[in-house]
A and B are shown apart, each in its own frame.
Chain A
Amino acid sequence: MLLPVTSHAIGVLAMGAQAAEKAAGGAVQSAGDNAHAVQPLDFVSMLFAFMLATFIGIGVIRRVSRLLHTPLMSLTNAISAIAVVGSIMIAGGEHYPTWVRVMGACALFASMTNIISGFMITDRMLKMFHAAPEGQAK
C-alpha cells in the first residue's frame, strides 16, 4: 500500500542522477581526456543523491514498526557496511602499494563481519516475532 510512494521516490532519485549526469556530460566533451576537469560538477550530483536518499530514508524509517527497532538497528548496521565497496576497491585494486592494500584488507574484514553478523542476527530476531494465534487474540 505504501509501495507507490517508495517507488516514486526511487524514480525521483534516478531522475536527479540523470539530470546531474546530463549537466556533467557537456563538460566531459569539452574537457576531452582530462578527467580532473569533471570534478567540480560531480559533487553536485553526489549531494543531490545524498539529499534525496536522506528524505527517502526518513520517510521509510518513520514507518518502521516500533516493535522492530532493535532488528532495524542491526539491519542498518549491515547496510552501512556498504563501506565494503570502498574496501574491495582498495584491497584488490591493481595499482596500490602493499601498505594501502593492508588497510583495505582490514577495512574489508571489518565490513564483512558487519554484513554477516548484521543480516544473520536481524533474521534471527525477526523469526521470533509472531502474532497471537487465531482465536486466542483478543
Chain B
Amino acid sequence: MRRCWRSCSLVLIAFVLAACPTKTEGGGGDGSFEVQDPLTRRLMDPDATTDERIDRVLAEAKPGNTAALPALLRVMRHRSQAAFLVVSDGKARFGYRTVELRETQKDTRSMERVAAIVALEAINSPVALPDLVLALDDVNEVVQNHAARALVRLGNRAGIPTLIANLDNRILQRETANRLLEEISGKQGFIADAGWAERQKGLAAWQEWWAGIQASDERLPIEGRAYQIGADAEADRRIGFFVDVVGQYQFLFHEQARKALIRIGEPALPFLREGVERARKDDNATTRAGIAQILETIDHPNGRELLRDLLTDASGSVRARAAEAFGNLAGKGAIAALQGVLGDRDPGVPIAALDGLGRIGGADALAVIRRYVPGEDSALQEAHILATFAASRGREQRDRTLAMLLGVSIATRNAAHAVLVRITGDDAGYDSLATESARKEAMERYRGLLGG
C-alpha cells in the first residue's frame, strides 16, 4: 500500500509539473519586455556597434539553424513595424503569447533587421512566415525588399508587389528591389542609377513580368513550396497563434494578425478553419468575426465553404461579417449565399447582405434585391434602396439615394456616400458633416456624374 501511495505521489507530482508553465519569457504584463535568452541578448547587445551586431546576426545564417529562430525573429520585430512581440509561454495554448511593444523610439536598427532576414532566409524555416509577411510593412524599404525575397523562398509571393513598388523609390531602395527581383525572376532588370525615363521603362517591364507570372503556372527560380499545415509543428503553432491574435482586443494586434494571415493567403485556410472551431468551443465570437473578415480576401473554394459555415454562426455579428465578405468576394455562389440570409433575425445581417448584393451587381443580384421586402425597419428600407441603386449601377433609385445625402441621419448620409463613391469613383467633395448647402452642391455634382 505504501508503495502504491508513493507511486501515486510521483504521478501526481508529474501531473502538477506538467500543468505548470515550463518556460515563460517577457515582462510582467507592464510592457517592460526583458530579453531572457542569451543569444537574443547577444544579437541585440546595446553596447556592441552596429557592425558587431550585424556580424553576430549573420553568423547565425546557417541552413537548419532553427535554434536561432526566436532570437532572429526578435531582432526583426522592431517597434517600427510591429505592435507586439510574440514571446514563448509554456502555459499558453500554442506556447506563445503577445507582449505589446510600447517604447517610442527612432528606428536605429534597420540594418540589423536586414541581417536577421538574410539569416532567416538561409535557415529557410516556415516558422518565420507570419513575421516575414509583417516585415513587408517595415518603415525601411530595404528591410521590406529582403523580406520579400525570403518569402519567395518560403513559397509566398506576397512581397513581390512591394518590391515592384519600391523600384520607384530612392536609390538604395530601388537598387535592392531591382537586384532582388533579378534573383527571384532570373531576369535582368534596369540600372538603378539610370535616368528617370529609363527606370520608368524598366518599371513597366517588371510590372508586365509580374502580370504574366500571375496569369501562368510558372514557378520562379528560387521559389519554395507554399506552406502546408502539418509540415512543421512549430510553424503550425506560430500560424495557429496568429489566428488567435485576430481575436485579441488590442486594436493594432488584431489588425496586424489579420494582415499576416491575409498575406499568407491560401495556406492559412486550414488554420482559419481550426480557428473557427476553437473559437466556437471557446464561445469567442470576436475571433470568428475576425476570421470572416480575412476570408473576404482569400478567394478559394475552401474559404467560401468556411464563409458559408460562418453565415449560420450563433453570433449575428459573425453572420454579418460573413455576408459582407461574400459581397466583397462576389463570384460563384455568392448571390445564393447572400439571398439565403436576407431573412436573418438580426437586422445587421440582411443589411450586410443587401450591401453585398449591391456590390456584386448585375441582373441576378438585382432580381434578388427586387424580390426582397424590407418591412417597416427604416434601416432595412434604406439598405434596400442603396442596394438597388448599386446593383443597377446607378440607374434605379437614383433620386432617393441622392436625397439620402441630405438626410437627417449621419449614418444614412455616410452609407449613401459610400455607395455613390463606389459607383462613380468620385467623392464629389462630399462631407457628411458639412452644411446643408455644401451637401446640396455635392449632391448636384453626383447628379451630373450620374448623367442628370
Partners in one complex: no
* Residues of A in contact with B (beta carbons under 8 Å apart): none
Chain B residues near A (Cβ < 8 Å) = none
